[in-house]
């Protein structure tokens, strides 16, 4: 059988990486929103130092025209290693450089062939046939050895080239590590994966960005330097990262096994202000932009040089209560009171301007298992006051709300949203201080549990309800870490899932989600998720905020762009007229 990866582990006891937070993307708010104006609220990590200018679409090299596609976004990347990231900003770039064994159809949730051409899942056994004649960007041939090395690096602390718990992201355990017992090769182009248990979403997990296949040679030679020098098999090769100007340049991989890019280069550039980004698109300084809200969307809609593209997103925005840090949040009535106090209807209608809808549960309505019987918490200050009195907090208390600066799809105007929360809760005598940070430091802050409460959100990686219910609200720790009678655990607990920013550990919820994972019948799984959603709604570990549309601004010069709510962007399909 050759080289294998084999570990018998209890999935809850798996040694969890300490680097998690939420994946994300972009969006924005109303005319008077400071997030839109770009004046005085952003620092050097959020805006370009070259005044928002980007590369021309066509440059001249050695007498030949080079077509350059410019993608402008609200924030730069923090890493270019898919095993080191939980950020959607990173994924926009790494998805151009890396492939997965199984991949998503552009713009859809259905699966297609990737680096594997055939696969099956029977009980706890997964078999895959690998694609032949694929070459990594470093010239190495892709074989089963690369898959084994990739899995080892991501999930096996005993592997010689494991980069460390603090480096590996929280995706490692819940994507692969908690489920995979062994990976063995049968020749160069066949693999068998043995799971610890039946796990319904596994094939979809193989299509997630975190399951990107790395080069074994690059793993051995580069180690953590893969965060700055990615080596994949994807349609674009990494060229350079100009950190001072927050620009990442990729070149077309003309030997790509799939659809070869139609442009010579892609440049990812950062423009912190939504409106400035929209104006950059309108003036021809960018070809595709994200981070669009009400005002920025109007700029694009009114442009004669670009169009607004929209699609229902598969995401959720929320405010997480850190029960591990704030004693008041451990009382369900306090959490419910705050949920009743915050006017999420005003948030989506007046700040997000109708490009989002209120949320009532962890998943949006376009994911199976959605519970139609649940409604968003209405604003009811009288009920909120009564609940606070019953909880013993009638005189109020204070807490910090941590938020990010730049817009995300699920929270297009984070500062305005935070100010709404602050204003609403002041009516209950609850004092909120806003701690606004640049996105990457913010992720580090919330990942380590330093927040009292925080804005976060999630854009699904695989369109399976498990990717919300388990990934975001299950602590994933050993039974010994739980304290009887408490529904929260410490961030310091062994194996803790740092994506669970609430520290929530409700046994009924956890059992429903675990049962759903081992059920291959879709209808039975859906019913368990509906029950889990009901528990989450009642227990309120989050203030459920919104589900947002995906919006992009696209130049009229661009052809072939497909807006993808998961995976992507599929820039190898794009051409410039």
* DSSP codes, 238-269: EEEEETTTTEEEEEE-TT-SSS--SSSEEEEE
Please give the C-alpha separations between residue 107 and each of 28, 399, 570, in angstroms, as whole numbers.
22, 40, 9
SS3 500: coil
**Model pLDDT, residue 45:** 34
CATH 3.40.190.10 residue ranges of the chain are: 34-79+233-312+551-576
**Model pLDDT, residue 354:** 81
| H, E, C per residue of 181-202 | EEEEECCCCEEEEEECCCCCCH
CATH 3.90.76.10 residue ranges of the chain are: 4-9+98-221
Give dist(CA 542, CA 503) in Å, integer.
11
What is the chain's length?
577
Burial of 365 (0-12, 13-18, 19+ CB in 10 A): middle
Q: Does domain 34-79+233-312+551-576 have CATH number 3.10.620.30?
A: no
User: DSSP H helical segments within 434-497, as ranges?
Assistant: 439-447, 466-473
Burial of 229 (0-12, 13-18, 19+ CB in 10 A): middle
* Domain 4-9+98-221, CATH number (from 1.10.287.1080, 3.90.76.10, 1.10.8.80, 3.40.50.1980): 3.90.76.10
CATH 3.10.105.10 residue ranges of the chain are: 315-549
Q: Which two tokens stand for residue 359?
A: 């949320």
> Which residues touch 550 (CB under 8 Å, ≥6 apart)?
25, 310, 311, 312, 313, 409, 563, 565
In 3D space, the residue among 497, 495, 504, 400 whose CA is nearest the CA of residue 447 turns out to be 497
Site of tokens 């297009």: 412
Query: DSSP letter at 135?
Result: B
pTM listed for this prediction? 0.81
C-alpha angle 103-109-110 in degrees, rounded to nearest 5? 65
Give dist(CA 18, CA 32) in Å, integer.
38
List % helix, strand, coil for the chain (3-state, nearest 5).
30, 25, 50
Please give the C-alpha separations between residue 543 and each of 163, 247, 422, 468, 513, in angstroms, as whole numbers.
36, 35, 14, 15, 20
Pairing of strands 116-122, 58-61: unpaired
Supply the CATH classification number for the domain 315-549. Answer: 3.10.105.10
Give dist(CA 233, CA 250) in Å, integer.
13
Query: DSSP letter at 140?
Result: P
DSSP letter string, 362-399: SS-TTSTT--TT--PPPP-HHHHHHHHHHHT-TT--EE
Residue 262: CB atoms within 10 Å: 17
Per-residue confidence of the chain (577 residues) as pLDDT tens digits?
433 333 333 333 333 333 333 333 322 222 233 343 332 222 333 333 333 333 334 444 444 688 999 999 988 999 999 999 999 999 999 999 999 999 999 999 999 999 999 999 999 999 999 999 999 999 999 999 999 999 999 999 999 999 999 999 989 998 999 999 999 999 999 999 999 999 999 999 999 999 999 999 999 999 999 999 999 999 999 999 999 999 999 999 999 999 999 999 999 999 988 899 999 999 999 999 998 877 899 999 999 999 999 999 999 999 999 999 999 999 999 999 999 999 999 999 999 988 899 999 999 999 999 999 999 999 999 999 999 999 999 999 999 999 998 888 899 889 999 999 999 999 999 999 999 999 889 999 999 999 999 999 999 999 999 999 999 999 999 888 999 899 999 999 998 999 999 999 999 999 999 999 999 999 999 999 999 999 999 999 999 999 999 999 999 999 999 999 899 999 999 999 8
- DSSP E strands: which ranges in 4-141? 4-6, 58-61, 64-73, 102-104, 111-113, 116-122, 125-130
């Amino acid at each position: 059988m050759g080289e294998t990866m084999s570990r018998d582990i209890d999935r809850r006891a798996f040694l969890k990486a300490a680097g998690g937070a939420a994946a994300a993307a972009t969006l924005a708010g109303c005319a008077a929103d400071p997030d839109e104006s770009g004046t005085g609220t952003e620092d050097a990590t959020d805006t370009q130092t070259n005044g928002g200018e980007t590369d021309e679409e066509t440059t001249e090299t050695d007498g030949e025209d080079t077509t350059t596609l410019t993608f402008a976004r609200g924030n730069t990347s923090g890493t270019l290693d898919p095993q080191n990231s939980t950020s959607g900003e990173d994924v926009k770039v790494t998805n151009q450089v890396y492939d997965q064994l199984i991949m998503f159809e552009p713009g859809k949730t259905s699966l297609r062939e990737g680096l594997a051409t055939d696969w099956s899942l029977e009980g706890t056994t997964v078999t895959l046939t690998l694609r032949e004649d694929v070459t990594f960007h470093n010239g190495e041939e892709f074989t089963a050895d690369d898959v084994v090395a990739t899995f080892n690096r991501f999930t096996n602390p005993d592997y010689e080239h494991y980069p460390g718990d603090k480096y590996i992201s929280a995706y490692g355990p819940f994507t692969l590590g908690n489920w995979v017992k062994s990976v063995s090769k049968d020749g160069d182009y066949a693999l068998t994966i043995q799971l610890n248990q039946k796990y319904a979403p596994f094939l979809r997990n193989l299509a997630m960005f975190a399951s990107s296949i790395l080069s074994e040679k690059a793993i051995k030679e580069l180690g953590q330097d893969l965060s700055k020098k990615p080596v994949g098999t994807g349609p674009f090769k990494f060229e350079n990262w100009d950190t001072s100007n927050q620009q990442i340049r990729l070149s077309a991989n003309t030997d790509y096994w799939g659809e070869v890019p139609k442009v010579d280069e892609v440049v990812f550039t950062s423009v912190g202000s939504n409106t400035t980004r929209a104006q950059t698109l309108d003036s021809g300084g960018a070809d595709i932009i994200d981070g669009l809200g009400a005002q920025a969307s109007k700029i694009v809609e009114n442009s004669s040089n670009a169009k607004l593209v929209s699609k229902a997103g598969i995401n959720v925005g929320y405010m997480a209560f850190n029960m591990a840090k704030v004693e008041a949040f451990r009382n369900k009535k306090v959490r419910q009171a705050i949920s009743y106090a915050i006017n999420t209807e005003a948030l989506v209608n007046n700040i997000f301007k109708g490009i989002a809808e209120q949320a009532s549960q962890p998943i949006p309505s376009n994911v199976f298992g959605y519970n139609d019987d649940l409604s968003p918490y209405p604003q009811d200050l009288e009920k909120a006051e009564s609940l606070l009195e019953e909880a013993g907090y009638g005189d109020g208390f204070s807490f910090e709300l941590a938020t990010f600066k730049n817009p995300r799809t699920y929270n297009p105007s984070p500062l305005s949203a935070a100010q709404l929360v602050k204003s609403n809760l002041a009516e209950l005598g609850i004092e909120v201080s806003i701690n606004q940070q640049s996105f990457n430091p913010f992720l580090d802050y919330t990942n380590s549990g330093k927040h009292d409460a925080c804005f976060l959100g999630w854009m699904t990686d695989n369109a399976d309800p498990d990717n919300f219910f388990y990934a975001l609200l299950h602590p994933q720790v050993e039974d010994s870490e739980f304290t009887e009678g408490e529904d929260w655990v410490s961030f310091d607990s062994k194996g803790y899932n740092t994506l669970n920013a609430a520290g929530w550990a409700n046994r009924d919820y956890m059992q429903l989600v675990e049962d759903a994972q081992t059920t291959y019948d879709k209808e039975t799984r859906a019913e368990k998720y509906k029950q889990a959603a009901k528990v989450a709604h009642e227990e309120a570990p989050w203030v459920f905020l919104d589900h947002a549309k995906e919006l992009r601004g696209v130049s009229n010069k661009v052809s072939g762009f497909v807006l993808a709510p998961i995976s992507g962007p599929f820039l190898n399909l794009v051409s410039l007229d």
